[in-house]
């Protein structure tokens, strides 16, 4: 079987267009402009690229975009003060604090200081609890993007065997929760899983969120399965030559070995151009949803779980 490529870039453009229509409606009918604030602590170059592209797309759909950059040695009190200010700002409907934070900051404390209603990452304990009990919540962007692609491809995933590799709070666990809420039979695998190959071979749906370049080989994939590759790994690519500054060029690869997996899968997401763009689209979708909820307005359909 040669897999159908699930085009996250194209899908995310459709989602962003829908978000844009809702933004226009909110402005024209209600005089409200949804606002998203991104807080970045430190100067991790990878984070900077990501924050820049989020800011650009936020403006493209007509929303207000605010960036708060803080020094790597910012104190917890100073960061909490910035979040408090954004919590109280009526023009801001979504707040995202870019992770990971520098080591001296308590990530749980910071995340839980964001107002749950503005927590567009869906990482606050209240949102985690609401999702876990099947109540209305803010849903983490990366898993939400994966779910949208799975629903679009399969119609329904009810009764399918899904394996999530990875159990982080930001991807693996909420992904498993969403799959369960859609009535898949869910297995969560991790670094202590015995015989990962056998576990993955049973899966109709494989979601890889590990952070290890190309670790899932094609011969683990059941013929016809759907493979969602969350991994974003930057590797040196000397075959591409040198950058202007003389350092070697790089390339992005996922957590699955694309060629061999595509040879067996029924459908697969590429890296880049798969889950990554969907994550940003879902962030914008969550901001519109948060804005509607904050103003007591009907929220858009099809943009959340
Ligand atoms: N496309 C996107 O929008 C996003 C992409 N990402 C990418 O997704 C990947 C995962 O991110 P994240 O969840 O934050 O990563 P974490 O490092 O927080 O979690 C990785 C998980 O993988 C498990 N793991 C590690 N090694 C193995 C192994 N050999 N076999 C099985 N499981 C293993 C770990 O298990 P254990 O718990 O036992 O240690 C852990 O649960 C990264 O590449 C990241 O860059 C992340 C966020 C968004
Ligand atoms: N609070 C918080 N929320 C996050 O959602 C969050 C975070 N912190 N920290 C970092 C990770 C990573 N992440 C990505 C999102 C989009 C792409 C993306 O758009 N990738 C493009 C390629 C971009 C490139 O070329 O570098 C693609 O896959 O096609 C990648 C990675 C969100 N994260």
Q: Among 140, 141, 232, 233, say which to mutate for ligand 2: greatest number of ligand atoms within 8 Å of CB.
A: 232
Residues 112 and 208 in one domain: no
121 is a catalytic site residue: yes
Range of the domain at 80: 27-116
Atom of ligand 1 nearest to the CA of 271: 1
pTM of the predicted model as reported, rounded to 2 decimal places = 0.98
54 is a catalytic site residue: yes
pLDDT at 46 > cutoff 80: no
Residues 86 and 49 in one domain: yes
Are 291 and 26 within 8 A, CB to CB?
yes
Q: What's CA 170's distance to the chain center, in Å?
A: 8
Residues 145 and 237 in one domain: yes
Are 36 and 56 within 8 A, CB to CB?
no
Residues 150 and 69 in one domain: no
Close Cβ partners of 49 (under 8 Å, ≥ 6 residues apart):
none
As a whole number of Å, the CA-based R_g of the chain is 19
Are 238 and 212 within 8 A, CB to CB?
no
Question: Across residues 7-24, what is the average pLDDT?
Answer: 98
Residue 8 domain flag: no
Residues 91 and 175 in one domain: no
Residues 160 and 48 in one domain: no
How many domains is the chain built from? 2
Q: What is the pLDDT of residues 159-187, one digit of tens each?
A: 999 999 999 999 999 999 999 999 999 99
Residues 34 and 153 in one domain: no
Cβ of residue 35 lying under 6 Å from some atom of ligand 2: no
Are 249 and 243 within 8 A, CB to CB?
yes
Q: What is the pLDDT of residues 113-167, one digit of tens each?
A: 999 999 999 999 999 999 999 999 999 999 999 999 999 999 999 999 999 999 9
Cβ of residue 275 lying under 6 Å from some atom of ligand 1: yes
Q: What is the pLDDT of residues 233-250, one digit of tens each?
A: 999 999 999 999 999 999
Close Cβ partners of 137 (under 8 Å, ≥ 6 residues apart):
122, 126, 127, 128, 130, 131
CATH number for position 85: 3.40.50.10860
Residues 145 and 262 in one domain: yes
Residues 254 and 158 in one domain: yes
Are 152 and 11 within 8 A, CB to CB?
yes
How much is the ipTM here? Answer: 0.99
Q: Measuring from atom 14 of ligand 2, which residue has the nearest CA?
A: 276
Atom of ligand 2 nearest to the CA of 49: 26
């Amino acid at each position: 079987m040669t897999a159908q490529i699930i085009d996250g870039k194209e899908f995310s453009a459709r989602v962003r267009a829908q978000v844009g229509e809702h933004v226009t409606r909110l402005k024209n009918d209600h005089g409200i402009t949804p606002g998203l604030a991104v807080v970045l602590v430190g100067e991790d170059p990878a984070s900077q690229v990501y924050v820049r592209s989020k800011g650009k797309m936020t403006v493209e759909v007509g929303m207000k975009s605010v960036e708060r950059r803080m020094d790597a040695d910012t104190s917890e009190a100073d960061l909490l003060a910035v979040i408090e200010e954004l919590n109280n700002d009526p023009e801001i409907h979504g707040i995202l604090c870019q992770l990971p934070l520098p080591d001296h900051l308590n990530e749980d404390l910071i995340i839980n200081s964001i107002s749950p209603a503005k927590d567009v990452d869906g990482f606050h304990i209240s949102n985690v609890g609401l999702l876990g009990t099947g109540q209305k919540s803010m849903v983490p962007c990366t898993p939400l993007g994966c779910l949208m692609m799975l629903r679009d491809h399969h119609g329904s995933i009810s009764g399918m065997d899904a394996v999530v590799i990875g159990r982080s709070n930001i991807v693996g666990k909420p992904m498993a929760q969403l799959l369960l809420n859609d009535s898949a039979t869910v297995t969560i695998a991790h670094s202590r899983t015995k015989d990962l190959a056998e576990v993955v071979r049973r899966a109709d749906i494989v979601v890889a969120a590990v952070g290890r370049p190309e670790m899932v080989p094609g011969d683990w994939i059941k013929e016809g399965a759907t493979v969602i590759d969350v991994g974003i790994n930057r590797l040196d690519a000397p075959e591409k030559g040198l950058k202007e500054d003389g350092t070697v060029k790089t390339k992005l690869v996922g957590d699955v070995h694309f060629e061999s997996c595509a040879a067996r899968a029924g459908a697969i997401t590429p890296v880049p151009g798969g889950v990554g763009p969907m994550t940003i689209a879902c962030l914008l979708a969550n901001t519109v949803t948060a804005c509607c909820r904050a103003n007591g307005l009907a929220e858009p359909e099809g943009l959340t779980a």
